[in-house]
Amino acid sequence: MNLSVIPDAWSWLTTADNWSGSGGAAHRLNEHLYLTAVCLVLSCAIALPLALWLGHGGGRRFGGALAINISNAGRAVPTFAVLVLLTLGPLGTHGDLPTVIALILFAVPPLLTNAYVGISQADPSVVQAAKGMGMSHLQVLGRVEIPLAFPLIMTGVRTAAVQIVATATLAALPGGGGLGRIITAGFRTYRTPQVVAGAVLVALLALAVEGVLALAQRLLDPGRRHRVREAAPAPAGEAPHEPPTGRPRPTRPLTGSTQ
Amino acid sequence: MSAHARNCLAANDWICGEYLRSRSEELTDATVEHIVITLSAVGLAILVAFPLALLARRWRIAAGGILSLTTVLYTIPSLAMYALLLPVFGISASIVVTGLVLYSLTVLVRNMLAGLQAVPEEAREAARGLGYGPARLLFAVELPLALPAVMAGVRIATVSAVSLTTVGAIVGHGGLGNLIYSSLDSYFKAQVLTASVLCVALAVAADLLLLLVQRLLTPWARAGGGGRRTRRRPGPAPAPRAEEVA
């Protein structure tokens, strides 16, 4: 155990030189954030419509099997191996393209699985009631199923985001950009303080991304607002703004027959 | 262009029988290291997770703390995790094993806790009525009933560990990952593909093996035929559900 690394890593982090320039931490952080954002948006654009369609009834049997197997497969395939395979493959000459593809490949499974499970497990009696009220398919999806599935959909988004941040770090091994570069460069030059400093940055970034998305989930959850309104009959000013929920876990959808 | 190059090694093909023949020893060594690292990590993780799950079940405050701590650990990317452990262990396999243990705790503690909490109160009452003490109650009644959930966690942890071991290549102890990493500089395609395929095969084999173990350990889940008892076969297996919590 080498404790002197901690102050050394701290001084690495607080040295302006390490942050500036084309290989500096600021630039690497930018690369990392940019890659994460682009790939998260692209993966959502691919996975969520598919999950909504499958969950809403476009072939549930197939959807269920796909949703489960794809996330099992996503776990079994090593991200590092895929990154290297894509880099050595024919796409390897196209700059960041192998990295982007790998990031999307590993972000789609959690998105797809969680959103599919959320939509397909929306309380059937509520869905039936919505249909009985004359809602169209799109209305049922948009006004009933998506709000009910929102916590799970967001769980998928958060898992995917964390996965992307982690995989983008690994992209440094086959020579990609991002904060992982600080770590790999440190390993190559036997500079442990730099390795630790880079790791701290990566860990903080991952936790920050998770935190921001958890906050977004809280603020955006359509079910929560509804619940608060319903739970607070008289004193509106007293409506609890921080319901004591811990981590947003895959809660059961809202209580079935309310009306 | 002489398409029929005799030697696929020289041609740097993706698939190369000659590679398998000439480097079988290297491949075996890497596979063995991979298995040893994964097994010791999951084994240690089970030993650590079990008391944590019991603590979490006993005290609610402990549950909150343990679950959020393990979740935070799970959020840290693997490369950063190994890098953060570097000053603790220096370059050694302990880094990889410890990192994998920390990752596995998330799934294991959660699933153990969920499994123990799902034990029907009647079963506990009945055991107490029969004069079972706390230890016997735990090991003879609660643990067997929680086994399906526990094993689901062990399977997820093992498959993830097999995959994450490859990243250990950064400290030279990544099992098959070492082969992948060392092929980067030489663009050795056959080695990357072979090691990757072996890695996936290891994960699948481990998963199936654990499934088999689970079936042998829970004969009552198979008994009763019909499928009235909850059989976790094709349907919404516990696996993906456990992950969404992570």
Mean pLDDT of A29-41: 92
- Across A23-27, A195-199, A253-257, which has the greatest mean pLDDT? A195-199
pLDDT surpasses 50 at B245: no
Read off the CATH number of the domain in which A143 is found.
1.10.3720.10
pLDDT category of residue B13 using cuts at 50, 70 and 90: confident
Domain count, chain A: 1
Contact A36, A161 (CB under 8 A): yes
Q: Is residue A204 in some structural domain? A: yes
For residue B159, the chain A residues in CB contact (below 8 A) are 72, 75-76
Whether B243 has its CB under 8 Å from any CB of chain A: the answer is yes
In-domain check, residue B69:
yes
pLDDT in tens, A93-138: 777 888 999 999 999 999 999 999 899 888 889 988 999 999 998 8
Q: Chain B: nearest CA to A80, how far in angstroms? A: 7
In a domain, B7, yes or no: no
pLDDT band at A62 (very low <50, low <70, confident <90, very high): confident
Q: Measured between alpha carbons, how far is B100 from B166 in angstroms, rounded to an integer?
A: 11
User: pLDDT higher for A227 or A246?
Assistant: A227
Q: Give contacts of B 95-154 with A, CB under 8 A.
A: none
Write out the H or E segment, with its range, that includes residue B120: none
Question: Would you place residue B94 in the very low, low, confident or very high pLDDT band (cuts 50, 70, 90)?
Answer: very high
Residue A207 counted as domain residue: yes
Residue A23, number of CB atoms within 10 A of its CB: 12
Q: Which helix (H) or strand (E) holds B193?
A: helix B189-217
Residue whose structure tokens are 């953060």:
B84
pLDDT of amino acid B81: 93
Q: Which amino acid, A217?
A: Q
Residue B1 domain-assigned?
Answer: no
CATH number of the domain that residue B130 is part of? 1.10.3720.10
CB B106 within 8 A of CB B246: yes
Q: Does residue A88 carry a pLDDT above 90?
A: no
**pLDDT for the residue A59:** 63
pLDDT of residue A244: 35
In this structure, the number of other CB atoms found within 10 A of the CB of residue A50 comes to 19
CB B52 within 8 A of CB B105: yes
Q: Quote the CA–CA distance of A129 and B166 in Å, as a whole number.
A: 50
Amino acid at A32: H
* A229 CB neighbour count, 10 Å cutoff: 11
Instruction: Report how far Cα A165 is from the mean position of its chain's Cα atoms.
Output: 9
Query: What pLDDT sits at residue B193?
Result: 92
- A129, two tokens: 């009631």
Provide the number of structural domains found in chain B. 1
- Give the pLDDT confidence of A178-194 residue by residue, as tens digits: 899 999 988 888 888 89
Q: Do B180 and A64 touch (CB under 8 A)?
A: no
DSSP B141: I
Tell me if A237 is assigned to some domain.
Answer: no
Does B154 score more than 60 pLDDT? yes
pLDDT-based confidence at A18, cuts 50/70/90?
A: confident
Angle between helices B238-245 and B143-165 (to 10 degrees): 70
Residue A28's nearest CA partner among A189, A172, A186 is: A172
Q: Which amino acid is residue B224, in one-letter code? A: G
- Per-residue pLDDT, A226: 59
Of the candidates B75, B169, B207, the beta carbon closest to that of A207 is on: B75
Quote the domain boundaries for residue B193: 23-219+236-245
Q: Which of B148, B198, B212, B232 is nearest to B33 (CA)?
A: B198
SS3 sequence of A189-255:
CCCHHHHHHHHHHHHHHHHHHHHHHHHHHHHHCHHHHHHHHHHCCCCHHHCCCCCCCCCCCCCCCCC
Within 10 A of B222 (CB to CB), how many other CB atoms are there? 11
Nearest to B79 by CA among A214, A195, A7: A195
| Residue B225 belongs to some domain of the structure | no
Portion of chain B with pLDDT greater than 70, in percent: 88
Facing residue for B200 by CB, picked from A6, A77, A180: A77
Question: If pLDDT is split at 50, 70 and 90, which confidence band does A1 have?
Answer: low
Assess whether pLDDT exceeds 50 at residue B237. no
Task: Provide the 3-class DSSP secondary structure of residue A122.
Answer: coil
pLDDT in tens, A130-158: 999 999 988 998 999 999 999 999 999 99
Q: Is residue A135 part of a domain?
A: yes
